[in-house]
Amino acid sequence: MEKDMTKGSPMRLILGFAVPLMFGLLFQQFYSMVDAIIVGHYLGVDALAAVGATGSVNFLIIGFCMGVCSGFAIPVAQEFGARHEVNLRRYVANCVWLSLIFAAVMTVLVAVLCRTILQVMQTPANIIDESYAYIFIIFLGIPITYLYNMTAAILRSLGDSRTPVIFLVMAAVLNIFLDLLCIIVFKMGVAGAAVATVASQAIAGICCLAYMYKKFPILHMSREERRWDPYFVRKLCGMGIPMGLQYSITAIGSVILQSAVNGIGSDAVAAVTAGGKLNMFIMCPFDAMGSTMATYGGQNLGAGNLKRVDEGLKACTLLGLIYSVIAAVAVYTVGGRMLLLFLDAGETAILANAAVFIRTNVVFFFFLALVNIVRFLIQGMGYSKLAVFAGAFEMLARGVTGFALVPFLGFRAVCFANPLAWISADIFLIPAFFYVRKKSAQVLSKS
């Protein structure tokens, strides 16, 4: 059921919302890791590199979908906090219309262009065919991506972070079964991993949709409320498109960096793939904190309570600091052994590079925590366009690393690309929050 985040202890509310969301993200990364584990062990290092070589372009496109859906849900959270139920339903209805349009256009465009993109990225010749087979199927599943992320974002905007987790866990278990079936039994290669991912996400999205319809009477709409409305469409696009662009602009830097890694060779691609998969799993709590602060900020701004926004920011920043320390200890203790999930022990050079990658990144995790907490809070307060600039700072840092540093310093430069991106974004985001805080106070005082 929906949860009101405008009352009660901010720390308790943030933990209560973020922990289920974190488990959902962990399971989402878990079945992404399962893809890599099964591909790496059953299909070999080249197949693992083929999947890894698509990671940045995958994030470029799928990240846009996720960002758009998160942005669409912000007005829903604000109207929920303000108790404007009719407007809330109109926003949800127009979310659906826009998601259908975005999904159709994007699927056609990227399916046509994905091989060209891989060629421009200098994907090594020995893995480009398998990379294409994998990413083409993922891109055909863009409508499924919109279905799950849109329904999950709306549920979270109403304070329900648990239900999407339940369905995601179910999808993760199904994904493991389908991975084994498609890759080992049906011998589908890397394409089988993509089919398993799309099919399992479809199940999670359909379940979320059915649950919303059955359990949330607040979303039951009249014919008038279901209509396409230009006013609500403009507001949603003003929130959703900047958030989608923020993901994509950030990913452009990753694409540039991935191109540089591709130029080093498939062994370097495999090392970054293994290290990146483990990194993404460890970083899930930061993503959960970000999504939590978007909902928390949206509801409390809607309720006109900026003091609670400040309290929530302090509480979540403390959580980010604590987890950063825990993650660093864990990576330096057992991180090297965890990489054996993706690679055989005989791949000593690749394992060594992957270990350097994850250890370098984890030292700077608190800067990543600030990026997620502050950026999503700004977005939840209705200033999603500012987040685009934060994404641009990340893009520039990764782009400069890929263009200028990797050709001279090699793999070591790759390891510092993410930390430089996080620090660059924070340099912009922290002053931006104080600007947003001041503007929001002025708006509330007038109203």
How many domains does the chain contain in total? 1
Domain containing 383 equals 10-446
In a domain? residue 55: yes
In a domain? residue 180: yes
**373: nearest Cα among 10, 9, 8:** 10
pLDDT of residue 42: 87
Q: Are the CB atoms for 276 and 421 separated by under 8 Å?
A: no
In a domain? residue 3: no
Q: How many CB atoms are located within 10 Å of the residue 310 CB?
A: 14
Q: How many CB atoms are located within 10 Å of the residue 220 CB?
A: 9
Give the whole-angstrom CA distance, residue 247 versus residue 241. Answer: 10
Task: Give 223-253 pLDDT, tens digit per residue.
Answer: 999 999 999 999 999 999 988 887 787 777 7
In a domain? residue 43: yes
Q: Which amino acid is at 29?
A: Q
CA atoms within 13 A on the CB side of 414: 28
Q: Are the CB atoms for 274 and 335 separated by under 8 Å?
A: no
Task: Give 295-341 pLDDT, tens digit per residue.
Answer: 899 889 888 889 999 999 999 999 999 999 999 999 999 888 888 87
Q: Are the CB atoms for 437 and 309 separated by under 8 Å?
A: yes
Q: Which two tokens stand for residue 272?
A: 């970054």
Q: Which amino acid is at 159?
A: G
In a domain? residue 88: yes
In a domain? residue 2: no
CA atoms within 13 A on the CB side of 251: 21
316 three-state secondary structure = helix
pLDDT of residue 247: 78
Q: What mean pLDDT value characterizes the chain?
A: 89
In a domain? residue 198: yes
pTM of the model: 0.76
In a domain? residue 203: yes
On the question of pLDDT at 38 being above 80, the answer is yes
Q: Which residue has the tokens 């993922």?
A: 138
